[in-house]
Amino acid sequence: MARHLRRAPVDVTLVDRRNFHLFQPLLYQTATGGLSPGDIATPIQHVLRKHRNVRVVMDEVVHLDARARTLVTREGELPYDTLVLAAGVANHYLGRDDWTPLAPGLKSIEDAISIRRRILRAFEAAEMEADATQRAELLTFVVIGGGATGVELAGAVAELARYTLRREFRSIDPRSSRVMSVEASDRILGELAPSLSVRASQSLERLGVEVMTGTTARAIDAAGVDLEVGGHRERVGARTVLWAAGVRAAPLAHALQEATGCAVDGIGRICVEPNLSVASHPDIFVIGDMAHVAYRGKPIPCIAPAAIQQGKFVARVIADRLAGKTPPTPFRYFDKGSLATIGRSAAVGEFRGMRFWGFPSWLAWLFIHLIYLIEFENRILVLIQWVNMYVGRRRGARLITEGG
Amino acid sequence: MARHLRRAPVDVTLVDRRNFHLFQPLLYQTATGGLSPGDIATPIQHVLRKHRNVRVVMDEVVHLDARARTLVTREGELPYDTLVLAAGVANHYLGRDDWTPLAPGLKSIEDAISIRRRILRAFEAAEMEADATQRAELLTFVVIGGGATGVELAGAVAELARYTLRREFRSIDPRSSRVMSVEASDRILGELAPSLSVRASQSLERLGVEVMTGTTARAIDAAGVDLEVGGHRERVGARTVLWAAGVRAAPLAHALQEATGCAVDGIGRICVEPNLSVASHPDIFVIGDMAHVAYRGKPIPCIAPAAIQQGKFVARVIADRLAGKTPPTPFRYFDKGSLATIGRSAAVGEFRGMRFWGFPSWLAWLFIHLIYLIEFENRILVLIQWVNMYVGRRRGARLITEGG
């Protein structure tokens, strides 16, 4: 949105807790040692350096006063004429917040580094473990949630074990690792056509992933997970459990609800007007994953193409209002489809009713993700590491580091 | 050493607390946002994957029993026939350990990420600071220690402020930052010829760095540093103080001294025999920065070329002993000289009495560092980022992340 306001007579202040823009779709590759954090993140100030009407501030919004048109941040106060909120979603443990440390989710760079550390440490610990049962637990990886993130993560962990680490240990054979993809509904990638779910399951199984649909996690502890499959419980000993089963709107949505009394959906997203503004607050917009936008009877999915289109739309509304023109309404979503990748040379996707799978759709996945990386330099860096990873089966960023 | 034992009839166990080999000479570029951690670090198992007689174990040695020839680690015990210690050096605050959190040193990946966070946060905080004095404190960076690390770090911080960040803020001008290089002796880069110290000072000053020789830090607190210059004290308000003034042998040297009663030097390094073994313990060797090796009347400097030569030498001694041949002795050091770089297109160096400076020596610096990066992939990644940094004045890894 800030980019599209470049020529409008406005001053934009962009507030973010972080100093960088994160390319979320490739975060699972950082979590599995394929890419470095710097490859998928770019300083926001750098992205907007030529936008002289944009000021970037690293700060956190804690409260908002819709009547006084003021944001209260950690560092002070920020008055506004028009407010656009795009704070996204966070991991959601469906009422089991105690699972947070046991089964980390994948939303931030810190999450990715922490997951990378867990996965790589498990192999190191297994190499030193004398007891066979303990070793099996260390070499079992459970990914809860069979959406795009869960499927991509499970595929990447299986590739790491089966190919990248194959020759690098002496006591263990990483290929004996167990990777499980657990999904509560009856198929993975539920947003795609059923035939593509079948293809995705087959691709995962070819990589050695056990796909368990109709399966729910009932309990998670440090040594494993209790699964419920078709009415009976099953214990799986696993030292690494990863969470990709649910998200909820960022806390800022709650602050907005308190300030304006607006409606929210079941996961806390703001239900916005057709022009993406908040009911009876035409000066406040919500875009991206944090907004619940009805479109042809169901909400627009939490994906980047929708957020990008919404940013562009709101920039247009703001500019037209200032120019005295009638702003466009309602927001029209152009569905660019969905695409999920499963390891090397397999992907499934859908676009306007057409279905894609196998190598061609994997190539399309590569190409689209490279194009949408925000910085040219990062495109080259990612491309080189992909050649290394997909041709040489190597992963260069396999570091176990402390902290974030 | 493990590499050079590839064809010897031995089993090698390589124990390291970390799972990666770190290319220390470029660590300051990670601390200043030029390179990602993954670019200068490679998993040890990957480096040695073709060495079937090497087992890599991620563990920490806490104690050693020289009589029983056993290492006690966090995870258990490791018996040995021959022991080679190469645990390097750590930051040393010359009796002021309370300065550790105030003035971080640059030894690990975590140090580099933490220094990067401090530096970048200072600019962000200055952008939001209304008070001019506070803003000046935030934009003042003091590097204590004028050896190669200190000089390279000060040069990189100045380049970051003066070129990379130049256009990226709206309230502050990063070019107004103050970068100070503080050195206790009468010249920086004391290991090189005096004429090269002069050239290095000039290069730093051209980048805007204030070079303060004959200056000692007397006190450090969260808001600045008290310097002593020629008998009188001077207060410098600075929120970022970095430490590059001293090192001391890793704690493992102390464990060895307790186990064998061997001699150590003033900074805790083990004084080894001419063949790099420990006195009256021909089965224990110490190599790298942790060893004090006398050579032509003074100790060999703590630099990578010396450590590499020592590793090769000890591998030869071990192989010859097993083959019943007379092992070589004493260790002969081939002095490959010194080289330090100061920002873009300037460096100073010395090799066998010849002196180099300016653009040609900077090119030599680039070339040598690329060659010694252990992995081919990393060479390409670093090269691309250097083009970006030195031609485009950009730094792609400018992320402020939490933790390590």
Sort out which chain B residues have CB atoms less than 8 A from A37's CB and list them. Answer: 36-37, 397, 399, 401
Q: How far apart, in whole angstroms, are the C-alpha atoms of residue A374 and residue A234?
A: 44
Asked if residue A307 and residue A173 are part of one domain, the reply reads no
Asked if residue B136 and residue B78 are part of one domain, the reply reads no
Asked if residue B203 and residue B240 are part of one domain, the reply reads yes
Q: How many CB atoms lie within 10 A of CB B331?
A: 23
Q: How many CB atoms lie within 10 A of CB A275?
A: 15
Greatest Cα pair distance in chain B:
75
Assigned domain for A260 exists = yes
Assigned domain for B27 exists = no
Asked if residue B286 and residue B192 are part of one domain, the reply reads no
ipTM score of complex: 0.81
Q: Which amino acid is at A167?
A: R
The domain boundary, picked from A322, A355, A372, lies at A322
Find the closest chain B residue to A34 by CA distance. B38
Q: How far apart, in whole angstroms, are the C-alpha atoms of residue A14 and residue A16?
A: 7
Could you report the per-residue pLDDT of A14-52, keeping only the tens digit for each?
999 999 999 999 999 999 999 989 899 999 999 999 999
Q: What is the mean pLDDT of residues A310-334?
A: 95
pLDDT band at A404 (very low <50, low <70, confident <90, very high): very low
Q: How far apart, in whole angstroms, are the C-alpha atoms of residue B26 and residue A349?
A: 42
- For chain A, what percentages of helix, strand and coil (3-state, to nearest 5) are there? 35, 25, 40
Name the catalytic one among B152, B183, B273, B350. B152
Sort out which chain B residues have CB atoms less than 8 A from A382's CB and list them. Answer: none
Range(s) of the domain holding residue A225: 97-245
Report the CATH number that the domain containing residue B295 is assigned in CATH: 3.50.50.60
Least trusted range by pLDDT, from A57-71, A183-197, A378-392: A378-392
Assigned domain for A47 exists = no
| Interchain pair A377, B397: CB under 8 A | no
Total domains in chain B come to 2
pLDDT above 50 for A260: yes
> Based on the number of CB atoms within 10 Å of its own CB, is A285 exposed (0-12), middle (13-18) or buried (19 or more)?
buried
Report the CATH number that the domain containing residue A189 is assigned in CATH: 3.50.50.100
Alpha-carbon distance values, A96 to A114, A147, A150 (Å) = 20, 19, 18
Alpha-carbon distance values, A93 to A96, A98, A182, A268 (Å) = 5, 8, 15, 13
Could you report the per-residue pLDDT of A148-168, keeping only the tens digit for each?
999 999 999 999 999 999 888
Q: How far apart, in whole angstroms, are the C-alpha atoms of residue A46 and residue A41?
A: 11
Assigned domain for B399 exists = no
Name the catalytic one among A152, A183, A273, A350. A152
Mutate to test the interface with A, among B108, B173, B398 (most CBs of A within 10 A): B398
At A36, is the secondary structure helix, strand, or coil?
A: coil
Asked if residue A278 and residue A220 are part of one domain, the reply reads no
Asked if residue A107 and residue A207 are part of one domain, the reply reads yes
Asked if residue A129 and residue A10 are part of one domain, the reply reads no
- Please check whether residue A299 is in contact with residue A277, taking contact to mean a CB–CB distance below 8 angstroms: no
Please confirm, yes or no, whether B127 is among the known catalytic residues. Answer: no
Assigned domain for A293 exists = yes
**Helical (H) or strand (E) element with B351:** strand B347-351
Find the closest chain A residue to B123 by CA distance. A58
Q: Which amino acid is at A17?
A: R
Which of A20, A42, A402 is facing B403, going by the closest CB pair? A402
* A88-107 b/e (C-beta count within 10 Å ≥ 16 → b): bbebbbeebeebeebbbbbb
Sort out which chain A residues have CB atoms less than 8 A from B50's CB and list them. Answer: 167
Q: How many CB atoms lie within 10 A of CB A256?
A: 25
| Interchain pair B404, A399: CB under 8 A | no
Asked if residue A194 and residue A282 are part of one domain, the reply reads no
Q: What is the pLDDT of residue B123?
A: 95
> Based on the number of CB atoms within 10 Å of its own CB, is B29 exposed (0-12), middle (13-18) or buried (19 or more)?
buried
Cis peptide before B251 (omega within 30 of 0): no
Asked if residue A106 and residue A172 are part of one domain, the reply reads yes
Q: What is the mean pLDDT of residues B160-179?
A: 93
Asked if residue A143 and residue A261 are part of one domain, the reply reads no
Sort out which chain B residues have CB atoms less than 8 A from A43's CB and list them. Answer: 168, 398-399
Candidates A36, A368, A80, A222; CA nearest to B35 is A36
Sort out which chain B residues have CB atoms less than 8 A from A404's CB and list them. Answer: 401-404
Sort out which chain B residues have CB atoms less than 8 A from A59's CB and list them. Answer: 128
Assigned domain for B182 exists = yes
pLDDT band at A344 (very low <50, low <70, confident <90, very high): confident
Q: How close does chain B come to A308, measured CA to CA in Å?
A: 23
- The mean pLDDT value of chain B amounts to 93
Q: How far apart, in whole angstroms, are the C-alpha atoms of residue A177 and residue A196?
A: 26
Across the A:B interface, residue pairs with CB atoms under 8 Å apart total 151
Q: What is the pLDDT of residue A151?
A: 96
Could you report the per-residue pLDDT of B27-84, keeping only the tens digit for each?
999 999 999 898 999 999 999 999 999 999 999 999 999 999 999 999 899 999 999 9
Q: What is the pLDDT of residue A64?
A: 95
pLDDT above 60 for B403: no
Could you report the per-residue pLDDT of B202-211, keeping only the tens digit for each?
999 999 999 9
Which of B19, B378, B401 is facing A396, going by the closest CB pair? B378
Asked if residue B253 and residue B140 are part of one domain, the reply reads no
Q: How many CB atoms lie within 10 A of CB A62?
A: 12
The domain boundary, picked from A245, A260, A283, lies at A245
Which of B110, B170, B385 is facing A55, going by the closest CB pair? B170
Which of A20, A120, A128 is facing B59, going by the closest CB pair? A128
| Interchain pair B46, A110: CB under 8 A | no
Asked if residue B105 and residue B241 are part of one domain, the reply reads yes
Q: How close does chain B come to A109, measured CA to CA in Å?
A: 8
Assigned domain for B9 exists = yes
Find the closest chain A residue to B77 by CA distance. A128
Q: What is the pLDDT of residue B230?
A: 86
pLDDT band at A403 (very low <50, low <70, confident <90, very high): low
Kindly state the tokens that stand for A228.
């419920």
Could you report the per-residue pLDDT of B243-267, keeping only the tens digit for each?
999 899 999 999 999 999 999 999 9
pLDDT above 50 for A186: yes
Q: How close does chain A come to B323, measured CA to CA in Å?
A: 26
Q: What is the pLDDT of residue B83?
A: 98
Q: How close does chain B come to A115, measured CA to CA in Å?
A: 14
Q: How far apart, in whole angstroms, are the C-alpha atoms of residue B273 and residue B279?
A: 6
Assigned domain for B206 exists = yes
| Interchain pair A394, B402: CB under 8 A | no
**Helical (H) or strand (E) element with B55:** strand B54-58
The domain boundary, picked from B292, B322, B352, lies at B322
